[in-house]
Amino acid sequence: MVLYRKYRPQKLADLDIREVREKLEKTLSSGYLPHAYLLAGPKGTGKTSAARIVAKILNCENPPAGGEPCNRCDSCLSITEGRHFDVLEIDAASNRGIEEIRDLREKIKLAPVSGKFKVYIIDEVHMLTTEAFNALLKTLEEPPKHAVFVLATTEAERMPETIKSRCVTFSFRKAAANEIANSLKRVTAGEGVKIDADIINEVAVMAEGSFRDATKMLEQVLSEKIDSREKLRAALGRDSVSAGSFLKLLKDKNIKDILLTIVTMAGQGIDLRFFVTDILNLLHSILLNTHGLPQEGLSSNLKDLYTSKEINELIGLFSHVFQELKFASRPELPLETALVAWCEKGG
């Protein structure tokens, strides 16, 4: 079993984002349980885990004091294992049409088989079609007393306001490095292994706010027996070309050298998403410094490398490239074409 699934949060106390944890605790311990929850925020921040914990709390057979699921009864165990008859998880990315929602509306009328509530967890709910949203809205407006919806999305802005207004919203954010580090320490303690604190902290920073990505990196650290930050950066392809040196290269607008650098990185198997993220982080520091917010550790030869207008344009350019990298068949192509266009128009 991969570590992220093995150490998925199983109770509210395991959720590392404090604001979400505290709001869920208050909501679920009140006498007014909502029939629809909206969990919105970036990928890898614990939305699906939180949805399953909500389902456990609602259906736990012998919840202890404090409102947490017991994680020992048949109901809790079957939800953990994904086999509870009354907790259904739907991926809206592949079940996004009106027929699937109509089927849901028919089945939701039936009483729970073994639990107290039928809980429908709809992941990436923003992917539903307009017709499917309209059908879902009718159910959210007049749900059966035994029905609860937990909607999860990375793009809440794409959801109709009519749907969002029927839900209690829980806003997830990118996890801070210290929150990710705490999560990783739980994993290493559970596995009975010791990892240098510097490596844990480096992984926490590299994960860019995602618990899932951080745990995947930790798994690589353990499987490859990585014992230093330098080896970690090499294993993840983040030690070849620094963001700073690349921005200096881009300033010269030498298309041949820029393309050669990108081709070399791609040939080395470097994850260009990480590289582009490093550049965006550096541009962010330069932007803040340019507007009177000094950034510790920012090289003096980078502070005045670009004008304020150029910095804004580059942030927009690399942000767009990052989005395109998710779907590119050749990962280097979006970066190459964007930078060639930048150089040819003179920046």
Digit-coded pLDDT (tens) for 172-209 = 998 988 999 999 999 999 999 999 898 999 899 888 88
Helices (H), the chain: 3-6, 18-29, 47-59, 74-80, 98-107, 130-141, 161-164, 177-191, 197-206, 211-223, 229-235, 243-252, 255-267, 272-290, 300-303, 308-325, 332-344
DSSP-derived letter for residue 304 is: T
Residue 84 has pLDDT above 80, yes or no: yes
How far does the chain reach from its first CA to its final CA, in angstroms? 48
Answer whether 163's CB lies under 8 Å from 140's CB: yes
Tell me the pLDDT of the chain averaged across its residues.
Answer: 89
What's the CATH number for 3-171? 3.40.50.300
Residue 302 has pLDDT above 70, yes or no: yes
Torsion of CA 232, 237, 240, 242, to 10 degrees: -90
CA distance 11 to 240: 41
> Which fold is adopted by the domain 177-235?
Helicase, Ruva Protein; domain 3 (1.10.8)
CA distance 82 to 14: 19
Q: Which residue has the tokens 């944890």?
A: 21
Residue 1 has pLDDT above 60, yes or no: no
Tell me yes or no: is domain 243-344 CATH 1.20.272.10: yes
Residue 66 has pLDDT above 80, yes or no: no
Mean pLDDT score, 309-325:
93
CA distance 332 to 316: 18
Residue 346 has pLDDT above 70, yes or no: no
164: its two tokens: 């969002």
3-171 against 243-344: fold identical? no
Answer whether 63's CB lies under 8 Å from 70's CB: yes
CA distance 18 to 46: 12
Quick one: pLDDT at residue 39?
Answer: 97
Mean pLDDT score, 37-46:
94
Query: Any idea where the domains of the chain sit in the sequence?
Result: 3-171, 177-235, 243-344
**Most confident of the following: 118-122, 269-273, 296-300:** 118-122
CA distance 174 to 120: 25
CA distance 79 to 173: 25
